[in-house]
């Protein structure tokens, strides 16, 4: 069956009083009502598709998710996602891109707040680690897991753009890790340390269960205890 489930169609989409104000003039605003509202609507549908795609790609994987699944999840018919995205792969890239930009924005925000309060590098690392766990495991966090585990389907060009974003995200960690190496609290070679640390964090997507396991703070504490040498002087 191709009919979308009746469930997700938002009430706002039902054509209630469609052109209340425009109807008064009777001529000018025909084919398209006010431009701003129209664009906002289009944007919302697009955002809905990206959100549904993120959730389904995370839950079932990119290949196992059909564009029909995504359409049905937002109450569209099977061909309609291709009005907003030219291919399934473009939808995947939208998820990945949105996820990285959001992650970078959040990272920048928490780090700025922390750098003013306490410029201690171990405190900064703790903030980075906690934010990373939050981006991976917090509420509504489907985008970065998709980026981490479903990027194989991207084209070479898309992968190159993604590599730039990942590099931006990771670059912030480097001076913090360097400072910790200088003070002897981090022992492994910098590049390998970074890769191993990201692995430890990213793998949590595979096992973390918010209902059963520890809190994100517990996770961050454990990671800090594992990676850092205890403060030497005492």
Partner DNA sequence: CCTACCGATCGGTAGG
The answer to whether 71 and 137 have CB atoms below 8 angstroms apart is no
**Whole-number minimum distance, CB 133 to its own copies, in Å?**
11
How many residues bind to its own copies according to rule CB under 8 A? Answer: 36
Q: Which stretch binds DNA (CB under 7 A): 31-39, 73-81, 105-113, 174-182?
A: 73-81
* N-to-C CA span, the chain: 70
Residue 152 binds which one of DNA, its own copies, none, with CB within 5 to 8 A depending on kind?
Answer: its own copies
Interface with its own copies (CB under 8 A), residue from 167, 226, 233, 234: 226
**Whole-number minimum distance, CB 154 to its own copies, in Å?**
13
Residue 76 binds which one of its own copies, DNA, none, with CB within 5 to 8 A depending on kind?
Answer: DNA
Which residues inside 48-67 make contact with its own copies, applying CB under 8 A?
60-61, 63-64
Interface with its own copies (CB under 8 A), residue from 1, 156, 171, 225: 225
Which residues inside 168-207 make contact with its own copies, applying CB under 8 A?
186-189, 192-193, 195-204, 206-207
Question: Residue written as tokens 């992650």?
Answer: 103
Which long-range CB contacts under 8 A does 83-91 form with residues at least 24 apart? 84/42, 84/45, 84/46, 84/49, 85/49, 89/153, 89/154, 89/155, 89/158, 91/49, 91/50, 91/53, 91/67
Interface with DNA (CB under 7 A), residue from 40, 61, 79, 184: 79
DSSP string, 6-41: SSS--GGGS-SSTTTTHHHHSSSS-SS--HHHHHHH
The answer to whether 58 and 146 have CB atoms below 8 angstroms apart is yes
Residues forming contacts to its own copies in the complex (CB under 8 A) are 60-61, 63-64, 149, 152-153, 186-189, 192-193, 195-204, 206-207, 214, 218-219, 221-223, 225-227, 229-230
């Amino acid at each position: 069956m191709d009919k979308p489930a009746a469930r997700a169609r938002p009430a706002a989409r039902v054509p209630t009083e469609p052109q209340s104000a425009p109807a008064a003039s009777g001529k000018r605003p025909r084919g398209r009502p006010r431009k701003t509202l129209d664009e906002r609507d289009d944007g919302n549908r697009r955002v809905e598709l990206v959100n549904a795609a993120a959730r389904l790609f995370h839950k079932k994987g990119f290949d196992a998710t059909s564009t029909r699944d995504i359409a049905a999840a937002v109450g569209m018919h099977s061909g309609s996602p291709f009005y907003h995205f030219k291919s399934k792969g473009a939808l995947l890239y939208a998820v990945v891109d949105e996820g990285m930009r959001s992650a970078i924005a959040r990272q920048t925000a928490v780090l700025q707040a922390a750098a003013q309060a306490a410029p201690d590098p171990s405190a900064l690392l703790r903030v980075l680690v906690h934010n990373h766990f939050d981006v991976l495991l917090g509420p509504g966090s489907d985008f970065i897991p998709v980026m981490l585990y479903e990027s194989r389907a991207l084209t070479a060009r898309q992968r190159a753009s993604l590599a730039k974003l990942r590099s931006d995200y990771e670059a912030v960690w480097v001076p913090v890790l360097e400072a910790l190496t200088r003070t002897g609290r981090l022992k492994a070679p910098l590049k390998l340390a970074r890769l191993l640390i990201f692995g430890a964090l990213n793998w949590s997507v595979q096992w973390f269960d918010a209902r059963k396991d520890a809190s994100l703070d517990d996770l961050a504490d454990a990671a800090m205890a594992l990676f850092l040498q205890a403060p030497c002087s005492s």
